[in-house]
């Protein structure tokens, strides 16, 4: 076979392979998306996925969810300060973010730091939860009594400090909590695509 013919076959095979790979990945993503869109089974309040409910019962979700709540509060108040400096406390953007921060604190206190949840935690995590509860209440009271942008800035600073200290405490009793998760593996290709891929690679080597 002539060299030009081999090059042509390899080039065309590469194009076909690329199209098949894109189709396979598209189907995989579509199937995954459809699975994620399935409604979660109904449960008694507070409504939560079965996996999260199981984690709470084992004493792990309380502190992990609290960490996320505090992170949300810190971020929302930092954004509120940015708007308040230019538009004042009466700004709609400030009000929305302060309300969001307050809602996060309320949810954390009512559910994740509720007495019936904290008793399920290991002793070291119970200490963290008991430390976080008054911190959350203090923050909420500050937000409810703000009179100036300076008050908001103090609340944002306290929220950031509380979130940082909570995460540091949690990391000590849950090593590996902040470690990066392994990268998601690429979807497995159909056998016929794998065979074509191998054929194209062999022909490229034989050029």
Specify the CATH architecture of the domain 50-173.
Up-down Bundle (1.20)
Whether the bond between 46 and the residue before it is cis, its omega within 30 degrees of 0, is: yes
pLDDT of residue 33: 53
pLDDT of residue 60: 45
pLDDT of residue 57: 42
pLDDT of residue 62: 85
Length of the chain: 207
Domain limits of the chain? 3-36+191-205, 50-173
Successive 10-residue mean pLDDT values, the chain, 207 residues: 49 55 57 49 40 43 89 96 96 96 95 92 94 96 95 97 95 73 56 66 65
pLDDT of residue 174: 81
């Amino acid at each position: 076979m002539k060299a030009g013919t081999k090059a042509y076959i390899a080039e065309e095979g590469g194009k076909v392979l690329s199209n098949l790979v894109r189709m396979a990945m598209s189907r995989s993503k579509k199937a995954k998306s459809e699975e994620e869109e399935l409604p979660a089974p109904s449960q008694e309040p507070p409504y939560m996925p079965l996996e999260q409910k199981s984690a709470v019962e084992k004493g792990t979700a309380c502190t992990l969810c609290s960490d996320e709540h505090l992170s949300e509060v810190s971020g929302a108040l930092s954004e509120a300060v940015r708007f308040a400096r230019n538009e004042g406390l009466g700004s709609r953007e400030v009000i929305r973010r302060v309300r969001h921060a307050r809602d996060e604190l309320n949810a954390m206190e009512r559910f994740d730091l509720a007495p019936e949840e904290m008793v399920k935690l290991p002793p070291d995590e119970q200490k963290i939860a008991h430390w976080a509860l008054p911190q959350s209440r203090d923050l909420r009271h500050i937000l409810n009594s703000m009179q100036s942008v300076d008050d908001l800035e103090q609340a944002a600073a306290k929220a950031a400090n509380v979130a940082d200290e909570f995460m540091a405490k949690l990391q000590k009793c849950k090593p590996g909590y902040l470690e990066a998760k392994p990268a998601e593996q690429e979807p497995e290709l159909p056998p016929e695509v794998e065979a074509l891929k191998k054929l194209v690679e062999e022909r490229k080597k034989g050029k």
